[in-house]
Amino acid sequence: MRVLAVSSGKGGVGKTSLVVNLALALSEEGEKVVVFDADLGLANVDVMLGISPPLDIRYVLKGEKSLKEILYKTEYNFEIIPASSGSLELTQLNLSQKLLLKAQLEEVLKKQDFVIFDISAGISENVLFFNFLAEERIVIVTPEPTSLADAYALIKVAFKKYKIRDFYLLVNMVKEDKEGKKIYQQLLYVLGKFVPEVKLSYLGALPFDECVGKAIKLQIPFLKLCPLASVSQKLREVALKLRKVSPKGDNQLEVFLEKWMSV
Ligand SMILES: Nc1ncnc2c1ncn2[C@@H]1O[C@H](COP(=O)(O)OP(=O)(O)O)[C@@H](O)[C@H]1O
Ligand SMILES: [Mg+2]
């Protein structure tokens, strides 16, 4: 089991689009994937897929349902743990609530190959919490300078607060491939200067493509709407690259649960 967090400093850079389509690409390769929708913002995973899961994490926190019962199976084979606004409460649980959820998390997550967190923009405690819980973290930027500055702030704060030392960078909405590499070099340079402890790896670049917006309007993944578009091909390459990276040991579930109890 691998735990991936997808975040960005700035909002509207494509986190939810990436999460949904990455989950689909990975599950098409036979991986069992669950998406944890922890975005407190508007464009949530369920909206993007045109679904409305009847239950969410708040029922679990109230003790009315188990985590397994609130899991939502999408038509695309991956599952969702709806949390959105309830995810804020997860950062403020007492010990007995944490213990109760720990057992349920273990039961649900041990069957998965990938858990992907879709996180809010910004550098709030909620954002840092989910970045800390994940073993692998994708930060998304776009070619806009503000997005780069905000990603830098996120990485710096995550290092200062939780000693998080490694991130993948994905550049979204590029005009051409080499724009992505250039942005990676820029961020690498600033980090090297001010937060040299952090390691940033390049995951790739996705082109700007109108299909992404169209797919959101139609509430289906862009991989389904435009399977042959270059954005879809690049997304599949990213999924492949992630599958190839050897996971950080086979005890990621244990590490996750330990972290869960420690915060
Ligand atoms: N590669 C892309 N090409 C064109 N538009 C994109 C791309 N990625 C995201 N978008 C657009 O950006 C907006 C925000 O995407 P979304 O996935 O909701 O971002 P976030 O979750 O970071 O807020 C959407 O309108 C979407 O259509
Ligand atoms: Mg989003």
Q: Regarding beta strands 136-141 and 114-119, do their DSSP bridges make them parallel or antiparallel, or are they unpaired? A: unpaired
Reported as a single tens digit per residue, the pLDDT across 244-262 is 987 777 788 999 999 999 9
Please enumerate in sequence order all residues whose Cβ is within 8 A of that of 199, keeping only pairs 6 or more positions apart, or say none.
165, 166, 167
Assess if residue 177 is contained within a domain.
yes
pLDDT recorded at residue 246 = 75
Which of 212, 217, 225 is the best mutation target for the ligand 1 pocket, counting ligand atoms within 8 Å of the beta carbon and taking the most? 212
The verdict on residue 140 lying in a domain is yes
Residue 49: domain span:
2-257
The ligand with the least distance to the CA atom of 20 is 1
Query: Which residue matches tokens 């967090």?
Result: 5
Its pTM stands at: 0.96
Report pLDDT for 41: 66
Q: Which of 13, 17, 24 to mutate to test the pocket of ligand 1 (most atoms within 8 A of CB)?
A: 17
In a domain, 263, yes or no: no
Q: Closest ligand 1 atom, CA of 209? A: 3
Asked whether residue 262 is assigned to any structural domain, the reply reads no
Ligand nearest to the CA of 142: 1
Report the number of distinct structural domains present in the chain: 1
CATH number at residue 251: 3.40.50.300
* 21 lies in some domain: yes
Write the DSSP string, 205-262: EEE--HHHHHHHHHTS-HHHH-TTSHHHHHHHHHHHHHHHSPPS-TTHHHHHHHHHHH
Chain segment 119-141, per-residue pLDDT in tens: 989 899 889 999 999 999 999 99
